[in-house]
Structure 1
Amino acid sequence: MTSTRGQFLVASPHLPDPNFLRSVVLMVQHDDEGAFGLILNRPTNQTVSEVWDIISDESCDCEQPLNLGGPVAGPLMALHTNERLSENEVVPGVYLSTDRDALDELVNTEFDPFRVFSGYAGWGPKQLDEELEVGGWLVASATIGMIFYEGDDLWKQVTSDIGDDIIYSAIDPRHIPYDPGMN
């Protein structure tokens, strides 16, 4: 098993599960016990403040969209860059928090950048490894810029980067002609 922790899983166009159609998942954990990650490109129509008003005695003014982290129910979670509020460093400089006090501080101070998630993507032991073997997912390096990317075409951006990496690794620079017209 090769761990995908701290990397992106990018849904292959051939992945049959509609929960993951064109999704980009940041992997938080991947070991012998299973795997879990957060879908980065599933904003909901609810704002963080709307949900916060339901679960907390205090309100907040955070108008950022709540993100659907995946089809598995779980606690609210946040990805952010504030090391002081971290419970787990997912990639260098990006942290995960589920602690209520940390989330309260994040949503009330709107420490930028951060994203709040409801739910997560989860896999049992070896389940993700099997999906990777059959080509259901592509794996890509996760970057802070893409983790907090706000455009609606994240899947397209990351798959384009994967394609570029494949092409560049296949090209022997000694065979690239000096004259671009010869291509």
Structure 2
Amino acid sequence: MSSAASPLGPADLAPGRLLLATPGLLDPNFADTVVLLLDVNDDGALGVVLNRPTALPVSAVLGEWGDVVEEPEVLFQGGPVSTDGALAVALAAPGGEHAAGFQRLWGRVGLLDLDTPHELVAGTVDRLRIFAGYAGWGAGQLEAEVAEGTWYVVPGEPDDAFGEEAGGLWRRVLRRQPGDLAFHATRPADPDLN
């Protein structure tokens, strides 16, 4: 496989990158997931699972934020850590990167502090998704998992975090990759049944 057709490696871990679980990752917390990396530093990494919507409406837990989030207007299971807490990933409106409660991560994507009064956020955010919990790795842990082939590391696009059809995200992201990596999108869920 040429380097242009290969996924990125451990050195390429950065906010905005996506982790796609390889077919060999059987941990039920991460099997078939797409994880958006939000922070990577010497102490570890933090991200949210993008393709695990729950049945719980945001409005049932966070009231008025339910009117602002993307369809489907439900909480997403962001990962197995701190599932009683919420992280809000937002796409700032042009010029909204410096709005109250918004912490820019890359481009116009950032985290929104849900304690910010709803009125101060109006008009500053184009898109919003709220995640219950997150995925976290200690120092060197994610790099080791990538090196052993547990994750494909690929560039992310802002729309990945906000799309309506979360169930097909893993395959859609793979299909847009160059070369041989795109062929993994056609792999059946259980190759033994093929």
1:31 corresponds to 2:41: yes
Q: State the SS of the aligned residue for 1:100.
A: coil
Asked whether the equivalents of residues 7 and 139 of structure 1 are also in contact (C-alpha less than 8 Å), the reply is yes
1:131 aligned to 2:145? yes
- Corresponding residue number in structure 2 for 1:156: 171
Q: Which one of 31, 41, 51 corresponds to residue 41 of structure 1?
A: 51
1:89 and 2:104 matched: yes
Which runs of no fewer than 5 residues in structure 1 stay unpaired?
54-58, 169-183
With over 3 angstroms needed to count, the CA separation of the structure-2 counterparts of 1:7 and 1:60, relative to structure 1, is closer
Structure 1 residues 110 and 23, CA, compared in 2 at 3 Å: closer, same or farther? farther
Partner of 2:76: 67
1:134-155 Cα deviation digits (max 9, x unpaired):
1000011111122211112001
Residue 166, structure 1, aligned to residue 176, structure 2: no
- Runs in 1 of length 4+ with deviation above 6 angstroms? 106-110
Q: TM-score, normalised by structure 2?
A: 0.73
- Give a deviation string over 1:113-160, Cα, whole Å, max 9, x none: 110111000001111011001100001111112221111200110122
Matched to 1:136, the amino acid is: T
Q: Counterpart amino acid of 1:21?
A: A
Render the CA deviation track for 1:149-172: whole Å, top value 9, x for unaligned: 11120011012223xx1349xxxx
Partner letter of residue 118 of structure 1?
A
**Equivalent residue for 1:147?**
161
Partner in structure 2 of residue 117 of structure 1? 131
- Superposition deviation, residue 85 in structure 1: 4.1
Tell me the matched-pair count. 160
Q: Indicate the structure with greater strand content.
A: 2
| Native 8 Å contact 1:60 1:107 kept in 2 | no
Counterpart-to-counterpart distance in 2, 1:106 and 1:69: 25
Aligned counterpart, 1:52: 62
Which has the higher mean CA deviation after the structures are superposed, 88-97 or 29-38? 88-97
SS of the aligned residue for 2:164 comes to coil
Gap runs ≥5 in structure 2: 1-9, 182-194
- TM-score computed with the length of structure 1 as normaliser: 0.77
In the TM superposition, what is the alpha-carbon distance from 1:66 to its structure 2 partner?
A: 0.6
Q: Deviations over 1:78-130 (max 9, x none)?
A: 1112221454323311111235116x458988954110111000001111011
Q: Could you say which residue in structure 1 is the equivalent of 2:4?
A: none
For residues 43 and 122 of structure 1, the distance between their equivalents in structure 2, rounded to whole angstroms, comes to 19
Percent identity reads 35
